[in-house]
Chain A
């Protein structure tokens, strides 16, 4: 499974993940307290300058990562055109800036560094039984089983198509869910046999 971290090394890749996350929080709070087209355009320009500092390939990649926003951009634009209300511009400026800035942090931080910060943030939960060791193990298990699950759902779908001319629909979910339950039991046994998770 590929991560969203950009292979293009930028200056921001060398910054510690914790500092980038803290700056992102501060910037987001600041952004959502701004209003007015001028101020928000300035913020968007700053975000664009930030991604441009990573070079052309990096900037292109971060613009492509905005694609889940397009349906909203289209809808907001149409809605405000229909209302004959210019307010839509501020909405679009704020939304794009916030997502650009957050994606910048995601693209310049390695998965392992980000998870290390999460483990530190989760430390207060340790008395509840969520020790950093267990969280790390759960993360590792999930990442390991992602391709397994994907491959198996594909296989179950294929064998359905081999047996039946009808569409598989929801029925393939039953074997997929039960396989996940069985795997969980077996992996738990394997973990116990190797000294347990605790």
Chain B
């Protein structure tokens, strides 16, 4: 009980700390921040339920007005901006990542790689990209749902997210490496496999 609580709170703080670390630059000039890496680690290390709750706690405090997102920004406006879908998707991504690590019968590193790729990329993009497309569409949202071809703005967000894909793939690999190392050095602490 207390253990779940403290793990959730401290990993929420870890997502924030990773996001506020100076970001690395890819060769393409796209900055990659540690924020979504933190979300993946929540899932791979804490498992589905605790990891999802840690990411939920993190976005709740961003919504409440703490500048915890990469670049020192935050507040309700971030949820209404074009990247809002990715924020909303964080808890779902961590949950799915944890679910894979818990249930996939494979070595921890392999399971963490698969989980982080499915949760941190597939699921996160599946939520984030349509929201971004809706923001970048000139039609009102109501009209877009009535008339799906109105999604003609889709190429722009897809292109945007393709820019971030290489960075996210690197993060998946890092999440798997970190999880495998934690599993080797401190197996009893890896709650997703406990």
Contacts and interface: CB of A to CB of B under 8 A. Distances in A.
Given A181-B186, A181-B189, A103 B3 contact: no
Given A76-B136, A142-B12, A177 B61 contact: no
A144 to B, nearest CB: 8
A118 interface: yes
Main secondary structure of the interface of A (DSSP, over half): helix
Contacts of A142: 9-10, 12-13, 16, 57-58, 61
Contact of B16 (A3, A24, A149): A149
Nearest to A157: B21
Contact of B81 (A35, A69, A145): A69
A137 B140 CA distance: 40
A39 B129 CA distance: 27
A11 B48 CA distance: 43
Contacts, number: 204
Given A95-B82, A99-B80, A174 B178 contact: yes
A184 B160 contact: no
Interface string A16-44: 00000000100010001111000000000
B81 A146 contact: no
Nearest to B7: A184
B67 A4 contact: yes
B182 A178 contact: yes
Contact of A72 (B6, B13, B69, B82): B82
Interface of B: 1-3, 5-14, 16-18, 20-21, 34, 37, 41, 45, 57-58, 60-61, 63-69, 71, 73-83, 135-143, 153, 156, 160, 174, 177-178, 181-182, 185-186, 189
